[in-house]
Structure 1
Amino acid sequence: MPKVLITDNIASEGIELLQKNVPTDIKRGLTPEELVDIIGDYDALVVRSETKVTSPVIEAGRNLKVVARAGIGVDNIDLDAATRAGIAVVNAPIGNTVAAAEHTLALMLSLARNVPQAYASMKEGQWQRSAFMGIEVRNKTLGIIGLGRVGSEVARRASSFGMRLIAFDPFVAPDFAARLGVTTMTLDELLPQADFITLHTPLTPGTTKMINKEQLAKMKPGARLINVARGELVDEDALLQALENEQLAGVALDVFTNEPPGDLPLLRHPRLMATPHLGASTQEAQREVAIEAAEQVIAVLNGQPARNTVNAPFVPPEVHAILAPYVPVASMVGRLLTNMARGQFIGVTLRYQGEIATHNTAILKAAALVGLLSPVSGEVVNMINAPVLAQQRGLQITEQTSSDGLEYASLISATLHTTGDDITIAGTSLRDEPHLVRVNDYWMDVAPSTPYLLFVDNQDQPGTIGAVGTVAGRRNINISFMEVGRIAPRGQAMMVLGVDDPISADALDEIMALPQIDNARVVAM
């Protein structure tokens, strides 16, 4: 009979659900050594954030089939070690969605009516009605940055306040946003229009300090900013400066770059309202995430798939050997599409040509969606949950097959449809390595073996390659390889350069300023 071990505090409803279905032990406060000593006796481990599920724990868990986190984050679990050991890692990303959305609205209303300041004044025995004149949220514009689970719930609730809703999230379909009563736009369009701005994006290299000095300067004077997502999304020094120069009327933060934030000068500003990461701190949310985690543990122990598996599964043994080399090809194609696209996502058309088209391509579709969504999702995206996440974002997925593989035995191509220009990427597998063979109308052969790829749209004329190489050399950017695709001699062309070093925004601007260059984009591989 399988056994479950719980080592952290989770809500009683989750514990009771487990106990009704499987023998369950509760042992809180274990040292790492104690956990390693006993974990071999258990088939499942349930934790929150306190227990560190390290590689030694995974190695000692000879019977482990699943590790469950009663919450969304899995930073305390060694995903690589679990994946190598064939152990499913599941989390509970849905249960705290409403709690985070409601906390966002609580902070917004408190900012509008100066609730914390008025409360503090009253506690000091004062009666200062005129000092705390507020504003109504009715007829105000709420700018939602990130229209995922929490952002969508904020939109649904804010609409009942009679607010105008606008959002920046290029990775959701416009139809999905429209059903929420939200108008999508670029970040530069949103910032000067919004009276309130709330952040709900995942933390990625591209979103770190996305609200910085430059973006704060674009906001409507007197706007109010709310962050219940991740502290690293905001430049805290720039935020303090925006409060001091009265660019912003108020700021509400539930999250910080460092938690606890310590002696942070920002906290002492009178128009800064702060709470200690309470977004998910409701009785209901804790109950929901405990039940969500318990349900998935029971599913895995019963041999069923869990809906929120966060570590990449192994390729199922029943998948034909012909398809296996094309899983990384599909993922590469999806990742390149996301990094090179411009405009709001609408949908994607996947095409399978050649020998792979004669097989069930479900795993290739999932792999392509993993590549497409991983760079922009706040959740760990894998081949189990990627189709569901795409559906939640309202993306239209079309698949086409053809036995004609052109000059390749098999070819995967995908066209991302956006409100801007569509983009097409195609790839194949050569010598069991993914190869990029097409970008829009340009055919080429690139094996992405470097950390970064630089795509340069240019005029095919003498000196172009040298000009780009000169900028790279001056900037100490090492070029590993270069490939050129062109429509016709001295016509439009595309250079693809594999580089070993990051390319700064300044370096990219310098390349794009070259007279023969039309555009340049960097993709981190």
Structure 2
Amino acid sequence: MPKILVGDPIAENGLAILRQVGEVEERIGLSEAELVAIAPEYDAIMVRSGTKITKPVLEAASKLQIVGRAGVGVDNIDVPAATAAGVVVVNSPAGNTVAVAELALGMMLSLVRKLIPAHNSVAAGEWKRSKFLGSELYGKTLGIVGVGRIGVEVTKRAQSFGMTVLGYDPFLSSNRAAQLGIEAVSLEEIWKRSDFITLHTPLTPQTRHMVNAEILAQMKPTAILLNCARGGIIDETALYEALKNGVIGGAGLDVFEVEPPKESPLATLSNVILTPHLGASTEEAQVEVALDVARQIVDVLQGRPPQSAVNLPPLPPETREFIAPFLKLMEQLGRIQAQIAAGRVEKIELVYSGELAQNDTRALTRMFLKGLLQGQVDNVSYVNAPSLAEARGVEIIETKRGAIGDYSNLVATSSTRNDNGHIRTRQVDGTIFNGREPHIVSIQDLRVDIVPEGTMLLIPNHDRPGMIGHVGTILGKHSVNIAGMQVGRKAVGQRAVMIINLEEPVSKEVIAELDAVPDLFGARLIDLR
């Protein structure tokens, strides 16, 4: 019978499921040295956030098949080390969905009805009803940034209050938006039209300080801003100034750039609600994540795939050697497609050709979708990427065919986007050189040869004299060092594309200046770090 180590307090409902399939030992608060000493005994380990599953622990755990994290984040687990050891790591990204959605609605109600200051007034012996005149949710407009699991649950609850819901998500298709009964809009419209704005997006380099002084100034003076997602999405200094000076009406924060937030000036304001990262802190959520992860542990121990693996399970031996080099290529192709154009992704087409087409390519498609969604969708993994794409209404089309052109194996990828009613298609193709080196070999049907790594500027243009000089002058003026450059074109004077390798990302001002040059069309920064 398998042995299962439980390293943190877990809801009894979850433990009961584990006991049906294995010998469960609860050993709370073990040090790394203690874990290393006993790790060889166990087939599975289940933890919350307290116990650290480090590389030495994983290297010592010779029988270990799975580590389960009863919660969302896996910061306490060395995922790369687990992957190297062939150990599946799972979490419960959906277990706290309802809890977080309800917290966001609770903050909205509390702010508009001024419940906290009203309570404090009554507790102080006052009875000043006129001082706490509030407003209703009915008839108001809610803007949701990030229409994933939590965003969808917020939508349902807001609609029951009679609210109009606007949604922004780079992977929210028009069909999916219609199914949810929301209006899919741009971020600019969210900021300008919403009475309430709630953030449900991951923290990435692209979303850090997404809400800054400039964005706050675009909001209604009565707008209420909520963040129950990740600290750092809002510039808290800018938020404090906006609230203090009446730029917006109020805010509710459950997460902060630094937790706990020491001596935050936000705590001095009366139009703010601050809570200590309570999003998942309900009895029901704790039970749900325990049940979810316990079931996944049972699945793995009994030879079934888990639902929410955060790392890449080992490939079948018969395909591992051939497929493995393409996994990194596919993830990088997905990341490039995520950044190559604006608008909501509605359709993805993947064409596998050559010997590659004779193999099981499902792992490759999953890796592409993981790269595509990464940084745009919270808690995306190799296992859940297809379901996350499907939930957003993204159509996935796979085709297999014989060898094409000069390449014995080629992956052609195409994304179709809806950019405020304008339908745009972007094509990026890749292959493997020397049996292991990923290369991008075509962009918009223009031949190139790019190693997909680091930071790049991708600049579509007309092939005219002076184009390279214009770009070089602008980058030089801004002290941008060019590490490498190449141009793809079909014929003189026609469509072309410049790809410039950079040592670090350029600013939005540089992009805007490039876009102002005639015959340069929509420079895009591609960050693959």
* Structure-to-structure mapping, 1:318-337, within 5 angstroms: 318-319=318-319, 321-337=321-337
* Structure-to-structure mapping, 1:114-263, within 5 angstroms: 114-263=114-263
1:145: how far off? 0.6
Tell me, in whole angstroms, the C-alpha distance in 1 between the residues paired with 2:380 and 2:387: 13
Whether 1:485 aligns to 2:484 is: no
Is contact 2:373–2:380 with CA below 8 Å preserved after alignment? no
**Structure 1 stretch displaced more, 309-318 or 340-349:** 309-318
Aligned residues: 523
Is contact 2:253–2:275 with CA below 8 Å preserved after alignment? yes
Structure 1 residues 326 and 81: alpha-carbon distance in aligned structure 2, compared to 1, 3 A threshold: closer
* Structure-to-structure mapping, 1:413-452, within 5 angstroms: 413-420=412-419, 421-431=424-434, 432-448=436-452, 450-452=453-455
Is contact 1:413–1:426 with CA below 8 Å preserved after alignment? yes
Is contact 2:170–2:376 with CA below 8 Å preserved after alignment? no
Is contact 1:83–1:313 with CA below 8 Å preserved after alignment? yes
Tell me, in whole angstroms, the C-alpha distance in 2 between the residues paired with 1:319 and 1:515: 49
Letter in 1 for 2:366: A
Question: Percent of pairs identical after alignment?
Answer: 44
Structure 1 residues 161 and 417: alpha-carbon distance in aligned structure 2, compared to 1, 3 A threshold: same
* Structure-to-structure mapping, 1:465-476, within 5 angstroms: 465-476=468-479
TM-score by length of 1: 0.96
Could you list the per-position Cα deviations for residues 268-302 of structure 1 after superposition, in whole angstroms to 9, with x for gaps in the alignment? 11111111111111111100001111111111122
* Structure-to-structure mapping, 1:386-425, within 5 angstroms: 386-420=385-419, 421-425=424-428
Tell me, in whole angstroms, the C-alpha distance in 2 between the residues paired with 1:235 and 1:166: 23
SS of match in other structure, 2:459: strand
Structure 1 residues 365 and 340: alpha-carbon distance in aligned structure 2, compared to 1, 3 A threshold: same
1:65: how far off? 1.4
Is contact 1:39–1:60 with CA below 8 Å preserved after alignment? yes
Is contact 1:348–1:417 with CA below 8 Å preserved after alignment? yes
Is contact 2:141–2:165 with CA below 8 Å preserved after alignment? yes
Which of 495, 498, 507 lines up with 1:495 in the alignment? 498
Tell me, in whole angstroms, the C-alpha distance in 1 between the residues paired with 2:88 and 2:131: 56
Tell me, in whole angstroms, the C-alpha distance in 2 between the residues paired with 1:380 and 1:361: 19
- Segments of 5+ residues of structure 1 without an aligned counterpart are none
* Structure-to-structure mapping, 1:69-88, within 5 angstroms: 69-88=69-88
Letter in 2 for 1:389: L
SS of match in other structure, 2:375: helix
**Structure 1 stretch displaced more, 511-520 or 99-108:** 511-520
1:95: how far off? 1.3
SS of match in other structure, 1:457: strand
Letter in 2 for 1:495: M
Tell me, in whole angstroms, the C-alpha distance in 1 between the residues paired with 2:360 and 2:41: 39
Tell me, in whole angstroms, the C-alpha distance in 2 between the residues paired with 1:335 and 1:361: 18
**Structure 1 stretch displaced more, 25-34 or 150-159:** 25-34
Tell me, in whole angstroms, the C-alpha distance in 2 between the residues paired with 1:47 and 1:404: 47
Tell me, in whole angstroms, the C-alpha distance in 2 between the residues paired with 1:256 and 1:362: 38
Tell me, in whole angstroms, the C-alpha distance in 1 between the residues paired with 2:411 and 2:37: 48
SS of match in other structure, 2:198: strand
Letter in 2 for 1:399: E
Tell me, in whole angstroms, the C-alpha distance in 1 between the residues paired with 2:201 and 2:485: 34
TM-score by length of 2: 0.95
Is contact 1:454–1:521 with CA below 8 Å preserved after alignment? yes
Could you list the per-position Cα deviations for residues 451-498 of structure 1 after superposition, in whole angstroms to 9, with x for gaps in the alignment? 111101223222222332233344443323222112421233110112
Is contact 1:197–1:224 with CA below 8 Å preserved after alignment? yes
**Structure 1 stretch displaced more, 150-159 or 272-281:** 272-281
1:322: how far off? 4.3
Structure 1 residues 503 and 315: alpha-carbon distance in aligned structure 2, compared to 1, 3 A threshold: farther
Is contact 2:457–2:499 with CA below 8 Å preserved after alignment? yes
Is contact 1:480–1:497 with CA below 8 Å preserved after alignment? yes
Residue of structure 2 equivalent to 1:352: 352
SS of match in other structure, 2:242: helix
